[in-house]
Amino acid sequence: MTTIQTVSVGLAERSYDIRVGPGLIENAGSEIKPLIRGNKVFVVTDSTVSGYWLDPLTESLDAAGIEVTTIAVPPGESSKSYADFEYVCGRMLEDGVDRRTAVIALGGGVVGDLAGYCAASVMRGLDFIQIPTTLLAQVDSSVGGKTGINTPQGKNLVGAFHQPKLVLADTGTLASLPKREMLAGYAEVVKYGLIRDPAFFEWLERHGADLIAGDEAARISAVVESCKAKATVVAADEREAGLRELLNFGHTFGHALEAAAGFDGTLLHGEAVSVGMVQALELSRRLGLCPGQDAERARAHLSAMGLRTRVTDIPGAAGWSADALLTSMRRDKKARDGTIRFVLARGIGKAFTSDDVASDAVRTMLQEDLSIAAGI
């Protein structure tokens, strides 16, 4: 039997554990019961995930004497919206929520972000538990307390910091994911190697294909190492005042690409991050900061794994404009007084932040990428 591993997030009285391994959903009731104040929970999920994991979760909660009300939203990024935020909050208020009620997010990053923001808002804050069912959510979005929704102006611009009481990363759920979803999550795993841990990046070069192919040990190792990296950063900088900005490597570009794609499923978040990380490394190379061989090594690994690495890989990109992408970047949460703050790199494992990048340099790079996409 595989041993469940635990990673702790140290935030004083708000510290919590990330439990990693297979079979956690079937035992969720016994894990959750000691942590919640009442005997009622709202499980927020989507209509795809519920078909796989809602019944075993509900059975486990029932066995622990916890009353369950389920709220399902459509799958996909479009559910991180004002409309679905209103819907989920409204259902809770209609169905007898009180301040002892807990919220459980069962699903990927979209469900976790939406449910977490609702938990942060209803009754001015309800206990919250993450049960991430995708690789991306297990290694990134379920950890650290960032919650929120998208707006027409950009991604994750409305939300709150609201830490969970517990994260149950059941690696058994990864077997149900399409390969495209696994690869999208894998981009976030690679991010940890690129920003601070070259040894982890080397490990991924050797074992990444096994991870995607279904090797359980490789998957557990990748989730645990990613969660350790994020837990360390979150404990040092919970509200992204400095160090935590490094976790946005590739995201300044990636979020702009997602907004341009319209959050319609054409471009998954992890796919956008993959392209965005390559763009961040290319910008770093152009600025004389990053060796060209490091930038190419990262791109080659992501590409070999089957991820998108160039704007030309994105359907519809030929019709985008560099100025529109720059406008989205200026709305990035790291921006200060309208100045875009980039996460750049001096090489693999050597990321840093900078607000001293000329917009013209970024515009030129984007225009070159878009010209290739347009066949010019």
**Phi, psi (5° rounding) for residue 194?**
-70, -30
**Which position among 162, 251, 333, 341 bears the catalytic label?**
251
Q: How far apart are CA 343 and CA 355, in angstroms?
A: 9
The yes-or-no answer on residue 230 being catalytic is: yes
* Coil, helix or strand at residue 267: coil
The yes-or-no answer on residue 207 being catalytic is: no
**Which position among 162, 196, 269, 308 bears the catalytic label?**
269
Give the number of C-alpha atoms closer than 13 A to the C-alpha of residue 159, restricted to the C-beta side. 25
Q: Give 244's contacts (C-beta < 8 A, 6+ positions apart).
A: 144, 233, 234, 236, 237, 238
* Coil, helix or strand at residue 275: helix
**Which position among 13, 94, 124, 336 bears the catalytic label?**
124
Given the DSSP bridges, would you call strands 40-46 and 342-345 parallel, antiparallel or unpaired? unpaired
> CA 354, 358, 361, 362 torsion: positive or negative?
positive
The yes-or-no answer on residue 155 being catalytic is: no
**Which position among 244, 285, 299, 341 bears the catalytic label?**
244
**Which position among 31, 181, 188, 225 bears the catalytic label?**
188
Q: How far apart are CA 3 and CA 139, in angstroms?
A: 18
* Coil, helix or strand at residue 241: coil
**Which position among 80, 156, 181, 248 bears the catalytic label?**
248
Give the residue among 359, 345, 329, 342 at the shortest CA–CA distance from 284.
345
**Which position among 255, 299, 308, 341 bears the catalytic label?**
255
Q: How far apart are CA 236 and CA 139, in angstroms?
A: 18
Contact (Cβ atoms closer than 8 angstroms) between residue 266 and residue 314: yes
CA 297 remoteness from chain centre: 23
**Which position among 165, 191, 230, 299 bears the catalytic label?**
230
The yes-or-no answer on residue 248 being catalytic is: yes
Type and span of the H or E element at 28: helix 28-32
Contact (Cβ atoms closer than 8 angstroms) between residue 128 and residue 106: no
The yes-or-no answer on residue 255 being catalytic is: yes
The yes-or-no answer on residue 245 being catalytic is: no
Q: Residues of 212-248 as b/e, b for ≥16 C-beta within 10 angstroms?
A: beeebebbbbbbbbbbbbbbebbbebbebeeebbbbb
What burial class does residue 354 get, using C-beta atoms within 10 Å of its C-beta: 0-12 exposed, 13-18 middle, 19+ buried? middle
The yes-or-no answer on residue 94 being catalytic is: no
**Which position among 146, 155, 228, 285 bears the catalytic label?**
146
* Coil, helix or strand at residue 23: coil
Angle between helices 179-196 and 216-236 (to 10 degrees): 50
Which amino acids are annotated catalytic? 124, 146, 188, 230, 240, 244, 248, 251, 255, 269
